[in-house]
Amino acid sequence: MRRGIAATALVAALALAATACGGDTKDGGSSGAKADGELSGTVTWWDTSNDAEKASFQKIAEAFTAKHPKVTVKYVNVPYGDAQNKVKNAFSSGSEAPDVIRADVGWVADFASLGYLSEVPAETAKKVDAEFLPQAAASGKYEGKTYAVPQVIDTMGLFYNKKMLADAGVQPPKTLEELKTAAAAIKAKTGKAGLYLRGDDSYWFLPLIYGEGGDLVDARTKTVTVDNAAGVKAFKAARDLVTSGAAITNATDGWTNMQTAFKTGEAAMMINGPWAVADSYAGDQFKDKANLGIAAVPAGSVKAGAPQGGHDLAVYAGSKNIAAANAFVDYMTSQEVQVQSAKELSLLPTRTAAYEQADVKSNEMVTFFKPAVDKAVERAWIPENGSLFEPLKVEYTKAVTGASSPEDAAKAAGVEFRKILKGWK
């Protein structure tokens, strides 16, 4: 049974959280949150959370009206894969654009550079710098100004089926070589795959390139690095996991195939993040939640590495209700709401003090992922960040499935990156 609290207790707790909502006049002339009781109108929030999370977030969002009864929250769930382009189209046209968006951390600089986001109120910006994890705060900034407030932070880990590994007599692998050995033992014992490697999303490529000591780009020197020696090794590592028999993969519908394979025991391991915990618990293999294990992403030939991810909340610069929208962001990123999200969904807070709360301390998944987040690799917070992932996805999928050689995939990715990052080496 999923953890939770009674609805009345939840509303009471969230109403208390909403009392913290508010802010001063926003720099640049737009008003911030007004005094309690003065807010009215509709706040439309586009949320990109997954199927296992969205009901909880909708409930929390709509409880905002417990403190601000004259405000209506219009909750819209936008599938993550469609969200970046859908948000850009809505913002650029101004037609039916949301007041608040849940943005992947890699999108904020892009949206801000295009003038789509309202700068957060000065007092909120000060609180973000003082009260939030510094690496989370960094994701909401562009050219020294704060345009988004961190909602959740995450990274990746190795999810594993404890029983399947124990039956095969293996421990969670610490390196890719150990993973191949463990996978062979699992196959011999159970006839099942060791790992499901997601092959249709370039985010899953990042641990591989970090593991070879590389990165996609070097923003400091404005250099594309995806096609250097480390990048080629990363593409080779991805392909090798499949050709060695250690991993199964699919070029399409990767999330569904990966989650299904892991939840049904067709694959003993997968690389994923905190956002997958609630959905994984819903699988037959994890009716006993204690059977779900999490370990660090296996290291490549150089080191272990996983990306810093997460989601921020930002207000549309063209919103007709910026005061209420800013108050809503304050509420959704409050400590009380973050603690509730950790308790219900095992999502990691961005507020430092939230980690001292009992419901966060007692969550095994959160306590594992927090040290991993502290070691996660920060991506380059550049406007083009999100645009790099589509050409990388194409080449990663080709390399994983054998449609291209690792060398050709790396080279092609580099060519496309330089088209996007005009003037970069």
Q: What is the pLDDT of residues 17-42, one digit of tens each?
A: 443 343 333 333 333 344 445 899 99
Task: Choose among 255, 253, 214, 222: nearest CA to 410.
Answer: 214
Q: How many CA atoms lie within 13 A of 72 on its CB side?
A: 4
pLDDT of residue 2: 28
How does DSSP assign 219-236, residue by residue? Answer: TTTTEE-TTSHHHHHHHH
- Residue 35: the pLDDT is 45
pLDDT computed for residue 159 by the predictor:
96
pLDDT at site 77: 96
Instruction: Give the model's pLDDT for residue 94.
Output: 82
Residue 82's pLDDT is 87
Q: Give residue 81's pLDDT.
A: 86
pLDDT in tens, 372-408: 999 999 888 899 988 999 999 999 999 999 999 999 9
The stretches in the chain having pLDDT less than 50 are: 1-36
The pair of structure tokens assigned to 257 is 């195939």
Q: What is the DSSP letter of 366?
A: H
End-to-end Cα distance, the chain: 53
Cα-based distances in Å from 299 to 74, 154, 182, 206, 295: 44, 18, 14, 12, 11
Q: For 55-81, give the DSSP string.
A: HHHHHHHHGGGGT-TTEEEEEEE--HH
Q: How far, CA to CA in Å, does 163 sit from each of 184, 192, 290?
A: 16, 13, 10
